[in-house]
């Protein structure tokens, strides 16, 4: 049924939501900005960083975007020691799906530099045929990055599925006219994701392969 599996990264592939929130809060504190709550910092995960900054600091103007982006990169990449690990079963499942002939892609709110960093750090980069990042196209929930991935791969939207943990992921997939899978263990509560009517909910990454196996049986 599906040929192309498109994955969000943070909160879907890797357990990075606490590091993201912690780095945002530290950056705001350093720049004497109002420090967002943990809940607010987690809520913007999935957006491109400029869009996230505008959401968190609506009264500060765009002048803070570049300074805050620079400090966030520093904390996330170097200074923040909050653990970041792949969710259980991710590497084995991705390798198995690729071996079964599925084409894998990433659609993320990360920057290109950020994604390449974690591709190298995790060793997963070679598993993905292609990817789109928020700083080289339009941020979620706009469907533009999915349209670009479909055009690049030559896959029809009915043959692709978007897998993610936030309402931004699922709304993006819905607006692109493709099926979506909701991941329950990430940044947004499952109740928020159900509103967008995913075709499947998974509570452990390995459930994705079991579901796809059932579709092709």
> One digit per residue, pLDDT tens: the chain, 217 residues?
899 999 999 999 999 988 899 999 999 999 999 999 999 999 998 888 899 999 999 999 899 999 999 999 899 888 767 778 999 999 999 999 999 999 999 999 998 988 998 999 899 999 999 999 999 999 999 999 999 999 999 999 999 999 999 999 999 999 999 999 999 999 899 999 999 999 999 999 999 999 999 998 6
With 0-12 / 13-18 / 19 or more C-beta atoms within 10 angstroms meaning exposed / middle / buried, residue 105 is: buried
Say what the pLDDT of residue 46 is.
87
Chain length of the chain: 217
Nearest to 40 by CA among 188, 179, 204, 140: 188
Please state, in angstroms and rounded to a whole number, the distance separating the CA atoms of residues 72 and 20: 8
Say what the pLDDT of residue 217 is.
67
Rg value, the chain, Cα: 17
Residue ranges, CATH 1.10.150, the chain: 18-79
Residue linked to tokens 């607010």:
40
Q: Which residues of 38-73 are buried (b: 16+ CB within 10 A; e: fewer)?
A: eeebbbbbbbbbbbbbbebbeebeeebbeebbebbb
Residue linked to tokens 């993201």:
20
182 in Cβ contact with 164 (< 8 Å):
yes
* CATH, range 4-15+89-216: 3.40.50.1000
Residue ranges, CATH 3.40.50.1000, the chain: 4-15+89-216
Q: What are phi and psi of 17, to 5 degrees?
A: -65, -40
Residue linked to tokens 């339009």:
138
Q: Which CATH number fits domain 18-79: 3.30.70, 1.10.3470, 3.30.450, 1.10.150?
A: 1.10.150
Task: Please name the residue ranges forming H helices in the chain.
Answer: 17-30, 38-43, 49-56, 65-74, 90-99, 112-122, 144-153, 167-175, 190-194, 207-216
Question: pTM for this one?
Answer: 0.91
Sequence-distant (≥ 6) Cβ neighbours of residue 85 within 8 angstroms: 14, 15
- What is the three-class DSSP state of 40? helix
Please state, in angstroms and rounded to a whole number, the distance separating the CA atoms of residues 212 and 217: 9
């Amino acid at each position: 049924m599906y040929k192309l599996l498109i994955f969000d990264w943070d909160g879907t592939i890797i357990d990075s939501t606490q590091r993201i929130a912690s780095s945002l809060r530290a950056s705001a504190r350093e720049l004497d900005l109002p420090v967002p709550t943990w809940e607010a910092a987690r809520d913007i995960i999935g957006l491109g960083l400029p869009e996230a900054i505008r959401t968190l600091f609506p009264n500060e103007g765009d002048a803070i975007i570049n300074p805050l982006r620079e400090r966030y990169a520093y904390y996330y990449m170097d200074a923040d020691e909050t653990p970041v690990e792949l969710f259980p079963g991710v590497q084995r499942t991705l390798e198995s799906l690729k071996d079964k002939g599925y084409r894998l892609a990433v659609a993320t709110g990360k920057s290109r530099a950020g994604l390449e960093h974690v591709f190298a750090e995790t060793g997963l980069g070679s598993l993905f045929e292609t990817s789109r990042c928020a700083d080289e196209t339009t941020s979620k929930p706009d469907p533009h990055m999915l349209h670009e991935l479909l055009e690049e791969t030559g896959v029809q939207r009915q043959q692709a599925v978007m897998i993610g943990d936030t309402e931004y992921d699922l709304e993006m997939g819905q607006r692109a006219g493709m099926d979506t899978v909701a991941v329950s263990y990430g940044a947004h509560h499952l109740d928020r994701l159900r509103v967008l009517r995913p075709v499947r909910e998974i509570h452990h990454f390995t459930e994705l392969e079991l579901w796809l196996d059932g579709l092709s049986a």
